[in-house]
Amino acid sequence: MFNNLSDKLDKALHVLKGHGSITEVNVAETLKEVRRALLDADVNFKIAKEFTNKVKEKALGQNVLTTLQPGQLMVKIVKDELTELMGGDAEGINLSGTPSIILMSGLQGSGKTTFSGKLANYLKNKKTKKPLLVACDVYRPAAIDQLHVVGDQIGVEVFSDRGNTDPVAISKAGIAHAKANGHNVVIIDTAGRLAVDEVMMTEISNIHKAIQPQETLFVVDSMTGQDAVNTAKTFNDVLNFDGVILTKLDGDTRGGAAISIKSVVNKPIKFIGTGEKMEAIDVFYPSRMADRILG
């Protein structure tokens, strides 16, 4: 995960990590390299620039050059800023409703259906939760089948209504089914498209208005870098979602989406997907991610 970025940051911070004397020139050179590493990771130019400016400000504020171990302090400042950029503290999901309704949104192929299953499995394993999965993709019968396969695999019931072409009606019927059958969490998997289009945005917005979920999650493929960030912005403008799910981190060597998405949409990354299996789900902890990236 993010190996390219880790290697480049490691190289950038190499001089500071050593024990030689550190000068203003070293620090400036290092920050330039850090910025280059972020740009190579597909972090937006403005964010990369702001990041290094903040690190510089903090370093000046803490009189880095006159401390006993300036290199270590600099590395700590970079790590703290990276944590902050990715969201500070971890944020859980809101499960307050009876049932709690979780709406999944995102483009086709982002990993929505897979993640819906992972989340259902994750909650089911918490013992107090009895989730219901609801299949609302009315365009692709295969998507409904896929959710049923996932549901069977994890032992979670799937509600679907083949032939019904109204996703709002299906989601409402799913919620009614959950209430009647003692499910305390409803996860609604919706239709995506290969790219943002008006029909999809109107549809997801209509579902959102009709069911008023406690939690609206936007699922996005981490490997798509700045595209992921731009798509997040579009969905957030329409849905004002509660959190981001970054999938396919296992295949992402660059990390640009993870690093920049929070500061662009101002919504936390809540979970990450790290593989195709149902168990490949993790709560996103910005500080742990920063530790991983910086080694």
User: What are the binding residues for GTP?
Assistant: 106-113, 189-193, 247-250
The nearer residue to ligand GDP, 192 or 243, going by C-beta atoms, is 192
CB of 191 to ligand GDP, least distance (A): 9
Tokens matching residue 74: 């600099």
The nearer residue to ligand GDP, 83 or 274, going by C-beta atoms, is 274
CB of 272 to ligand GDP, least distance (A): 8
Q: Which residues bind ligand GDP (CB under 6 A)?
A: 106, 108-114, 192, 247-248, 250-251, 273-276, 280
CB of 231 to ligand GDP, least distance (A): 12
Tokens matching residue 253: 């060597």
Indicate the DSSP class of residue 250: G
Q: Where does 18-94 have alpha helices with state H?
A: 24-40, 45-61, 70-86
The nearer residue to ligand GDP, 47 or 204, going by C-beta atoms, is 204
The nearer residue to ligand GDP, 169 or 280, going by C-beta atoms, is 280
Q: For 103, left (φ over 0), alpha (ψ -120 to 50), or beta?
A: beta
- Count other Cβ atoms within 10 Å, centred on residue 259: 28
Largest CA distance in the chain: 71
Q: Which residue has the tokens 């997040």?
A: 232
CB of 280 to ligand GDP, least distance (A): 6
Is 148 in a helix, a strand, or coil? helix
- Count other Cβ atoms within 10 Å, centred on residue 152: 12
